[in-house]
Chain A
Amino acid sequence: MYTFSSKLKTLAFVLMVVGALGIGYSFFTAPKSAEEVEAIINAEHAHGGHGEAAHEEAHDAVEVHAVHDEHAAHAEAAHEGHDTAAVAETEATADTVTAVAEVATEHASTTGHEESHAEAAVAHEGHDADAHAEHEAHKEHVEHVYHQLQNKPWAAVYVAALFFMLIALGALAFYAIQNAAQAGWSPVLFRVMEGISAYLIPGAIIVLILLVLGVAQVHHLFIWMDPEVVAKDHLIQGKTGFLNGPFFLFRAVVFMGGWILYRQIAVKNSLAQDNATDNSFYKKNFKASAAFLVFFIVTESISSWDWIMSVDPHWYSTLFGWYVFASFFVSGITVIAMVTLYLKSRGYLEYVNTSHIHDLAKFMFGISVFWTYLWFSQFMLMWYADIPEEVVYFKMRIENYNLPFFGMVAMNFVFPVLILVNTDFKRLSWIVVMAGIVILTGHYIDFFNMIMPATVGDQWFIGAGEIGAVLFFLGLFILVIFSALTKAPLLAKRNPLIEESKHFHY
C-alpha cells in the first residue's frame, strides 16, 4: 500500500494556496468598468508618445516648413484651421486625443509637401467626419478590450481546469486501450493509471461548473451563449440548433457522466479481480473498456467542439477532435510515466523496470509525433487553401500569439523527437522526466493557444492568473491522484497478464 508522503501533501496544499491567491489577484485586478479600461488605454497611448506629444511635433513641423515654403500662406491657413478644430475637439471629449493626434500627423505631412491648397483643404474637411468615425471606433475598441480583460481571469482558470481534467481523461483512455488490447506489459502500471484517472471526477465537476457559469452569463468565454451577440450574428443563429445552453449542458453531463461511469466500473472490477477466484471481472473490464473506447471517441470529438472549438463559433475544423485528443492523450501518458517514476523512486513499484519506462517513453515519443502530424495537417490545409473564413483562426494566432504558437511546436515536437529518439535515453529517468515536463508545458500552451485568442485576443499575458490557475489545479491534481493511490495496493494481483507484465523485458 502507498502512503501519501506528508511532504508531497504539503506541497500540494502550498500549490493550491499560492494558485488560489494568483487566481484571486487576477480577478481582483481585472477592470470593473469600461471607463477603467479607457484610462488604461489612454495612459498607454500618452506613454507611447502619441497624444499631446505627437500633436506638438506636428505643429512644429508645419511651422518650420511654412517659413521657407512657397505655399507658406496656404499652409499657415490650413494650420490655423486645424488648430481650432483640434482645440474644440479636445475640449469636447478627452478621448479623441488620439484621433486628433493622428489627424495632426496626417495634416502635417499634407502641408509639409508642396501640395496645392485645395488638396490640403479637402483633407482638412474630411477630418471632422473621420474624427467622429474614429471616435465611434475608439469607443467600440474600448468596449472590446474591456470584455477581453474581463475574460482574462476566467479564461486562465478555464484553460487550466480543462487541461488537468483532460490529462486524467487521457490516462483513462490509455488504461482502456491497454485493457482492450490485452497488453502484456502494462498491468503493473494499472493502479497508477487508475489513480491518475481519479482526478476525472473533481476535474469534470469543476469544468462543468465553469460551463454552467458560462451559460448563466457569469463569464463570457463563449460568445454564442450571449443572446445579444446571437441576435446580431447570422452565422451563430444558424448553429443554435447545436450551440444552445440547455443542449450544451446536457451533452456535457452525458459525456462526463459516461467517462466517470466507466472509470468507476473499471476500478471496481479491477479491485474485485484481486480477490476473485476466476477471471470474470477481468472479462467484464475487457468488455467495458471496448464499449468505453467507442463511446469515448465519439464523445471526445463532440466535447472538443463544445468546450474548445465553440469559443470561436465562426470557425470550424474537421480534424479538431483528433487534434485535441492527441494533445491530451500524450499529456496523459506523460503523467503516467512521471507518476510511475516518482513512485518507483520512492520504492513502491517493485516490478516496474526500465523496460516499462522505455515503453511509456516510446508512447510519449510516438504520440508527440502524432500530435504534430495533426497540428500540421490542420494548419497546412488551411494555410494552403487560404480560405478567409477558416484562415482567420491562424492569422490571429500567428500575429498575436507568435511565440506560443510556434514555441509549442518546438516543445511538443522538436524537443521530444530529438531527445526520445534514442533508445538508451528512453530508459533514463531524468531524461524521461525532463522530456515530460517540456511536453506537459508544451501541451498547456497548446490549450492556451486554443482558448485564449478567442476570449482575450491580443490582451493575453502569462501572469498571476494563468500561472496561479495552473498551480492551483496542479496542487489539486497531486492531492487527488496520490490520495486515490493510497486506496488500493499498487499491484493488481490476479490480473491474468500480471505475471507477464512483472517479467516484461524489452
Chain B
Amino acid sequence: MSNKVLHILYNDDDILMDAVKKTRAAHHHIEEVFTPFPVHGLDKALGLAPTRLAICAFLYGLVGLSVATAMMYYIMIVDWPQDIGGKPSFTYIQNMPAFVPVMFEMTVFFGAHLMVITFYMRSKLWPFKQAENPDVRTTDDHFLMEVPVHGDEDKLVAFFQETGAVEVKVIEKH
C-alpha cells in the first residue's frame, strides 16, 4: 500500500473552484485543500458538512445564562439578602432588572469564549503546534489540492494537469 499523494497547485481561486468541481465529478477523493484566504463557496464545492459551531455557541450561551442566574440567586437572594439601597432582595424576580446586565454579559461571554475554544480544539490549533504547510506558497498566493493516488498514477497526473494546474507533484507521504 503506497502512501503517495498528489499535490496540485493553482494560482487562482476561480481555477481552483473549477478544478474541485471537475475532480468531484470524476470521483477522485480530495484529501485536503490549502488556500491563502477563504474562498467563497469552496466548502459547498467540496461537499463539506456544514459547521455546528453556532449550535454549540447557543448551548454555551444557555450555560452562561444559567451560571449567572444561579450565582446571583445564591449570592443576592439566598445567602445574604441584604437591603442595599432599598432594592428588593426578597425573590429573584423582584430584583431581576438589576441582574440583567450580568446575565446578558455572562451569556455572551460563555457563548463566545467556549465557542472559540471549541473551534481551536476541533481544528487542532494551539500555540506550539507544528504548522502543517505542504508548501509555503499556499500561505501567500498559491492554492493547493491534495489527492491520494489510487490506480494509474500517470493518468491521474494527466487529469490534473488538464484542470489548469501550475504544478502537479507526486509526494511520498508517511
Contacts and interface: CB of A to CB of B under 8 A. Distances in A.
Bound pair (A, B): yes
Contacts of B98: 380, 384
B54 A384 contact: no
A421 interface: yes
A383 interface: yes
B58 interface: yes
Range of interface residues on A (Cβ < 8 Å): under 10
Interface string A363-378: 0000000000000100
Interface string B95-128: 0011010000000000000000000000000000
B86 A380 contact: no
B100 A421 contact: no
A303 B98 CA distance: 31
A421 B86 CA distance: 38
**Majority SS at the chain A contact face:** helix
A379 B58 CA distance: 27
A421 B97 contact: no
Contacts of B54: 423
The listed residue with most A CB atoms (<10 A of its CB), out of B54, B58, B97, B98, is: B97
Contacts of B86: 386
Interface string B58-71: 10000000000000
What range describes how many residues of B lie at the interface? Answer: under 10
A50 B86 CA distance: 37
Interface in B66-96: 86
Nearest to A381: B97
A383 B58 CA distance: 30
Nearest to A376: B100
A384 B97 contact: yes
Nearest to A386: B86
Nearest to A418: B58
A386 B84 CA distance: 14
A421 B54 CA distance: 10
Contacts of B97: 376, 379-380, 383-384
A69 B31 CA distance: 99
Nearest to B98: A384
Nearest to B101: A380
Contacts of A386: 86
12 contacts: A376-B97, A376-B100, A379-B97, A380-B97, A380-B98, A380-B100, A383-B97, A384-B97, A384-B98, A386-B86, A421-B58, A423-B54
Given A376-B97, A380-B97, A380-B100, 9 more contacts: A376-B100, A379-B97, A380-B98, A383-B97, A384-B97, A384-B98, A386-B86, A421-B58, A423-B54
